[in-house]
Amino acid sequence: MSVTMKEIEKKEAQLREGVERTRARRVYIPSVDIIEREEDIVLVADMPGVDDKSLDIVLEKDTLTIDGRVEEAIPEGHRLAVSQYGIGDYHRVFTLSDEIDKERINATVKHGVLRLTLPKTEAVKTRKIPVRAEA
Amino acid sequence: MTLRELIPFTKKSVPVKRDRENPFELLRHDMDTLFDDFFRGFEMEPFWGRHEARFSPKVDITENDREILVTAELPGMNEKDIDITLNHDSLTIKGDKKEEKEDKGKDYYRMERSYGTFCRTIPIPVEIETDKVNALYRKGILTIKIPKSAKALEEKKKITVKVE
């Protein structure tokens, strides 16, 4: 495995043309890991500054939208000396396939990390077929 | 780095960024990273192993007259894995972000998040109350509050301009 120093650069989300934002905030694309397991697909997103109250997850047909608001700001009377990460909201959209059981999606957030569990439908689960030995 | 950064006079006088103001420091920094970059090209570590860190968290530093506030984005850490050490003139944040056990060895479709060890040292140019520093880890953001010492506060004097 390569050992490289990684600078965590937050990517700013691009606005579609003709769309305006209602909050004067920067919007970032959260980094995600997507992991497939036997029973489900797990989506893990880094969203520092977000908790359960400031997170909106909306599923509309096949589109899963994750919106996180960050209320943190520079404290009153403080001036910024070094700024490396931008304070801003998070937004990312995913398209789900039919293989996901949309009724049983489960989301938890802990220490600024969102964990979405997307269970697979019974139809696509890998099944092992037992082989019987005939006498 | 641009050539302009070598000219100290054009730098804004941001107190916490002191180490970057000295052109020799800058040159040294560049020489240091030059070799690291070279070895990185071959996907190997420099043999002296200067970088034990896998990634470097981003920090914001704000200050007012009484205190310095260092915030770092460290999502998904265990607070026990964050190690903060304070020297008289620098603050070091070290840690190990572990991959969740249940995810290990599974099929990754996408891997954008960072794991591993990190180490970050931030120089502090003013005298501080080392025993009154406190750190808070909340919602994936680490906030370290460093109060400036009384001596540091005294040093800042306003000079009035008289009219003759």
pLDDT of B154 higher than 80: no
* DSSP 8-state class, residue A128: P
Q: Do A3 and B60 lie within an 8 Å CB cutoff? A: no
Assembly ipTM: 0.73
Token pair 């970059």 is found at: B37
What pLDDT, on the 0 to 100 scale, is given for residue B26?
67
d(CA B51, CA A108): 34
Q: Do A78 and B111 lie within an 8 Å CB cutoff? A: no
Which positions in chain A touch B139 (Cβ < 8 Å)?
48-51, 72, 111-112
SS (H, E, C) chain B: CCHHHHCHHHCCCCHHHHHHCCHHHHHHHHHHHHHHHHHHHCCCCCCCCCCCCCEECCEEEEECCCEEEEEEECCCCCHHHEEEEECCCEEEEEEEECCCHHHCCCEEEEECCCCEEEEEEEECCCCECHHHCEEEEECCEEEEEEEECHHHHHHCCCCCCCCC
pLDDT of B19 higher than 50: no
Structure tokens at B101: 């056990």
Contact (Cβ atoms closer than 8 angstroms) between residue B146 and residue A72? no
Residue A82 has its nearest CB partner, among B17, B103, B114, at B17
Q: What is the per-residue pLDDT across B127-144, written as a single tens digit (0 to 9) for each? A: 888 888 889 998 889 999
Q: Do A3 and B45 lie within an 8 Å CB cutoff? A: yes
Q: Which of the two residues, B88 and B37, has the higher pLDDT score?
A: B88
d(CA B106, CA B40): 27
What pLDDT, on the 0 to 100 scale, is given for residue A114?
93
What pLDDT, on the 0 to 100 scale, is given for residue B37?
59
**At B135, phi and psi to the nearest 5?**
-125, 140
Residue A35 has its nearest CB partner, among B58, B76, B103, at B103
Identify the weakest region by mean pLDDT among A67-76, B51-60, B83-92, B127-136: B51-60
What pLDDT, on the 0 to 100 scale, is given for residue A113?
92
What percent of chain B lies above the pLDDT cut of 70? 63
What pLDDT, on the 0 to 100 scale, is given for residue A65?
92
Which positions in chain B touch A2 (Cβ < 8 Å)?
43
pTM score: 0.68
Which positions in chain A touch B59 (Cβ < 8 Å)?
82, 84-85
* Mean pLDDT computed over every residue of chain B: 73
Q: C-alpha angle with apex A74: A70 to A80, nearest 5 degrees?
A: 130
What pLDDT, on the 0 to 100 scale, is given for residue B52?
47
Q: Is A13 helix (H, G, I), strand (E, B) or coil?
A: coil
pLDDT of B33 higher than 70: no
Q: Residue B76, exposed/middle/buried by CB under 10 A (0-12, 13-18, 19+)?
A: buried
Contact (Cβ atoms closer than 8 angstroms) between residue B30 and residue B5? no
Q: Which of the two residues, B109 and B52, has the higher pLDDT score?
A: B109
What pLDDT, on the 0 to 100 scale, is given for residue B16?
41
What pLDDT, on the 0 to 100 scale, is given for residue A2?
40
Average pLDDT per 10 consecutive residues for chain A, totaling 135 residues: 53 70 79 86 90 90 90 80 83 88 90 91 78 85
What pLDDT, on the 0 to 100 scale, is given for residue B158?
74
